[in-house]
Structure 1
Amino acid sequence: MTVLPVMALGVSTWPLVDGIERLHGPVTVVRRCLDLTELLAAARAGLGRAALVAEGAEDLTASLLEQIRLGGAALLVMEGHDHRRLAGLGAVVVPERADPQDAARLVEEAVAAASAAPSAVGYSDVVAADPARETAVPAGAAAQDDSDLDGAEPPSVRRTGRIVAVWGPTGAPGRTTVAINLAAELALLGEDTALVDADTYGPSVAAALGMLDEAAGLAQACRLADQGRLDGAALRRTAADVAVAGRTVRVLTGLTRQDRWPELRSSAVAAVLERSAHEFGTTVVDCGFALETDEEFTVDTMAPRRHAAALTVLERADVVVAVGAADTIGVPRLLKGLPEVAASAPGARLVVAVNKLRRSAAGRSPELGIREAWARFGSGPAVELFVPWDPEALDEALLAGAVLAETAAGSPVRAAFRTLAERVLSPPEAPGEEADPPVRGTRLGGRIGAWLRR
């Protein structure tokens, strides 16, 4: 007989666990915890296969539930102890009138279901709110009579929109400029568009759009998701409505200080993205440059990770716009980073855009030089878009806190962003046979080749 050790929290669980012990079955109680801290410590130590919670359930969040699950325990909550919210986060509800046999059976079923779940997970596979079971509980729901909802299945959240991640290597290739203008052009094409600033190193979407009253919208949304209270209405209240050229883009602003990055936990970011993809046609995400996973090899493997937000965005993305600067440093960085991006976003379509194209940094034939280097040293997708460098138009837009469609509607750089938006919305083209471009020995191609051979 396989023993299933259970940890209990709250005095309301005591009569039930006493009855379970008298059954002398496989389910046995190994720890009666006095507070939530003791329960989390016991779960992280791997003392139990299940946790039965009553008092203290209101303090549980998705991040804490993730710690319990990573410790190998399934969560069960007694009915009447914030059970509706926790059920939306994946907990099993034990009915108020359940006898010890029923409770033991629920424990066995919960443990079996947890054991059957895939063990190989990424940054966001252990998600706080399972999208197939998520229940959104609005603020003040505790004061409502929930008797009419007993036994009802939580409403499912079906993802209908697309997520577009804008990524670029370190060195200011123009991620934020691309993200905000791409979101604006998508809105002008009729898309219900959201813009999310998930950069944990240099969040700047709010400043670029002239939003002086910045309130860390993404952090607020993550907090609601962590509590299991992020429904569509809550997300729309958290996002700021920004008017761009007669259209509206919903913006989740970034962190107000860089040291707040622990608020963007992977599970919460994943839940926000899934909810946004359900609510909006396209969600454009400005994500950070760092994709290293070395932080996993730390003493505290459950601690938040600064790169987790970017990795989670790429995992969830349908389209990744990879942006690099058109110079002898930016292009090699982009070339070297693309394999890592492709590995982090295995199901996404990759669109490569070279930004800040100018003769002064790339030679007399800048596009030809980059294509030559790409053909000789690149192993991934070809460059789909070249964005010209127009510092006067870009500076004017930045000074006005606007997008190019408002301040420089006829400029070539704005036309490039319009083309990018159209390509994001269009289905991917079937790969065809492309003729190798003639190698002309451009100065840029030679410099990039020397850089990459180092």
Structure 2
Amino acid sequence: MARLVLILDRRTEDALLSDIIEHGHTVVARLESAREFTDQVGRIQADAVITTASHSGLGRELLAACDAGGIRVIALAGSPSERRHAAEVGLVDVVDSGARWDELEGLLIVRAAAPMAIDTRADADGDAPRVIAVWGPTGAPGRTSVAIGIAAELAASGVDVILADADSYGGTIAPALGLVDESPGFAAACRLAAADALTADELARIAQPYRSRGGGFRVLTGISRASRWPELGASRVSAVVSACRRDCEVLVIDTGFCLETDEEISSDLFAPHRNGATIAALRASDHVVAVGASDPVGLPRFLRAYGDLVELLEAPRMSVVINRVRGGAVGIGASGQLRATLRRFGGIDDACLIPDDQRAHDAAMLSARTLRDEAPRSKARQAMARFVEDELRYAGARVDAQ
């Protein structure tokens, strides 16, 4: 049962108190303002704070203190202005001030995410540490945001991560994270790998750091102009992957969209192939995350390309992520409709559905930060955290709970 802190007006508190006790929870403190809680947060052992969504009961300082202590926050809003205030400070768990206790009880039942660590010892096949390739078809389904999200969640768990932008049609990770892309790190890594000179020192030199209090990671930025694609040869990409395996615990690769191999019938067998970088990254990975959009245009496009992806990989370890799920584009019961469609036309039974949260993504893009850093309570970010914990913890290299 949960240990609760109440920051409510007397009337609301009295209405909830009997239900709290009846359900076996313990009220460890009854306070009048958020400032009272932040002043003594170190002395209060609590699992959750139930507070009013007013300015006196809810603020960024309260959320920061609760995030640092792993304390859940649930706000009760009595007016549209209070709901807007909760959204502005980044709180997702907001209910009506007159809600029944059952609704609050449902928000309290939250599985705690176990801290993760990558076991970098080689497995029976000697294939560790893990390489995760993130792929998606044409049409911007959000593979870059998913790749960044995976890297951010793993890095926040204490894992040494390199995020590489291997899209031969133009990289987007650098602008998304506010990094300089005049000298693309992944292209430099490919050139060094071709000369057998990609050492750990060189990799440290060309990789740019993304700094975060929650856990930073290194980034090999992508090519800034699509015309530079010949620098990303297939053999070079494979060599870069091998070098990163030795120098980090997890390599996350944002790949291109195109899987066509028609260029291989060219009479010039030694000419570079534009899609070779994507195909090489996918084949060198231990786990592939296939990303599709949920709308009526993006989903059929994903299902058609997904068949090509399965044929391309001999023994794929694969997860499916359907991005930007929203009822406005799919209809009533969006999740059920999507799962039924994926099962019927793709044979996919266990896709991860990421809810649409355009406001949080816009804020992250504007600040050039990860969704985890900018909007940690976003529903999209929380779904990504669950995906990393549930799906990627046992695929490829081992990810064990500490």
TM-score, normalised via structure 2 length: 0.65
1:24 equivalent in structure 2? none
How many residue pairs get aligned? The number is 271
**Amino acid of the structure 2 residue aligned with 1:349:** R
C-alpha distance in 2 between matches for 1:159 and 1:319? 11
- Given candidates 414, 417, 439, the residue that maps to 2:384 is 417
C-alpha distance in 1 between matches for 2:342 and 2:215? 37
**Amino acid of the structure 1 residue aligned with 2:368:** G
2:360 equivalent in structure 1? 393
C-alpha distance in 2 between matches for 1:359 and 1:194? 35
Secondary structure of 2:155's match?
Answer: helix
- Given candidates 230, 240, 251, the residue that maps to 1:262 is 230
1:239 matched to 2:207? The reply is yes
**Amino acid of the structure 2 residue aligned with 1:308:** G
Is the 1:206–1:214 contact (alpha carbons within 8 Å) kept by the matching residues of 2? no
1:183 equivalent in structure 2? 151
Is the 1:318–1:347 contact (alpha carbons within 8 Å) kept by the matching residues of 2? no
2:22 equivalent in structure 1? none
Is the 2:181–2:222 contact (alpha carbons within 8 Å) kept by the matching residues of 1? no
1:313 equivalent in structure 2? 281
Q: How many angstroms does 1:334 deviate by? A: 1.5
1:208 matched to 2:209? The reply is no
Q: How many angstroms does 1:161 deviate by? A: 1.1
Is the 2:151–2:217 contact (alpha carbons within 8 Å) kept by the matching residues of 1? yes
Q: 1:160 to 1:378 in 2, by over 3 A?
A: closer
C-alpha distance in 1 between matches for 2:262 and 2:155? 38
Q: 1:344 to 1:186 in 2, by over 3 A?
A: same
**Amino acid of the structure 1 residue aligned with 2:341:** A
1:26-425 equivalences in 2 (<5 Å) = 160-212=128-180, 214-379=182-347, 381-425=348-392
C-alpha distance in 2 between matches for 1:184 and 1:271? 24
Is the 1:265–1:305 contact (alpha carbons within 8 Å) kept by the matching residues of 2? yes
Secondary structure of 1:352's match?
Answer: strand
Q: Find the structure with the greater CA-based Rg.
A: 1
Is the 2:282–2:288 contact (alpha carbons within 8 Å) kept by the matching residues of 1? yes
Secondary structure of 1:377's match?
Answer: helix
Is the 2:181–2:224 contact (alpha carbons within 8 Å) kept by the matching residues of 1? no
Q: How many angstroms does 1:358 deviate by? A: 0.4
Q: How many angstroms does 1:337 deviate by? A: 1.6
Q: How many angstroms does 1:322 deviate by? A: 0.4
Structure 2: where are the runs of 5+ without partners? 1-125, 397-402
Is the 2:288–2:317 contact (alpha carbons within 8 Å) kept by the matching residues of 1? yes
C-alpha distance in 2 between matches for 1:225 and 1:201? 21
Structure 1: where are the runs of 5+ without partners? 1-157, 430-454
C-alpha distance in 2 between matches for 1:202 and 1:416? 28
**Amino acid of the structure 2 residue aligned with 1:285:** I
TM-score, normalised via structure 1 length: 0.58
**Amino acid of the structure 1 residue aligned with 2:374:** T
C-alpha distance in 1 between matches for 2:201 and 2:152? 22
With CA pairs under 8 Å and 6+ residues apart, which has the higher RCO, 1 or 2? 2
Q: 1:213 to 1:316 in 2, by over 3 A?
A: closer
Is the 1:187–1:247 contact (alpha carbons within 8 Å) kept by the matching residues of 2? yes
Secondary structure of 1:173's match?
Answer: coil
Secondary structure of 2:314's match?
Answer: coil
C-alpha distance in 2 between matches for 1:179 and 1:214? 21
Moved more, 232-241 or 417-426: 417-426
Q: 1:213 to 1:264 in 2, by over 3 A?
A: closer
Q: How many angstroms does 1:378 deviate by? A: 1.8
Q: How many angstroms does 1:279 deviate by? A: 1.1
**Amino acid of the structure 2 residue aligned with 1:266:** A
Q: How many angstroms does 1:424 deviate by? A: 4.5
Structure 1 segments of 4+ aligned residues over 6 angstroms from their partners: none
Q: Deviations over 1:180-213 (max 9, x none)?
A: 1110011012211110000111310000001135
**Amino acid of the structure 2 residue aligned with 1:316:** A
Q: Deviations over 1:203-238 (max 9, x none)?
A: 100000011354100110111111111112211211
Is the 1:159–1:275 contact (alpha carbons within 8 Å) kept by the matching residues of 2? no
RMSD: 1.6
> % of aligned pairs identical?
42
Moved more, 417-426 or 194-203: 417-426
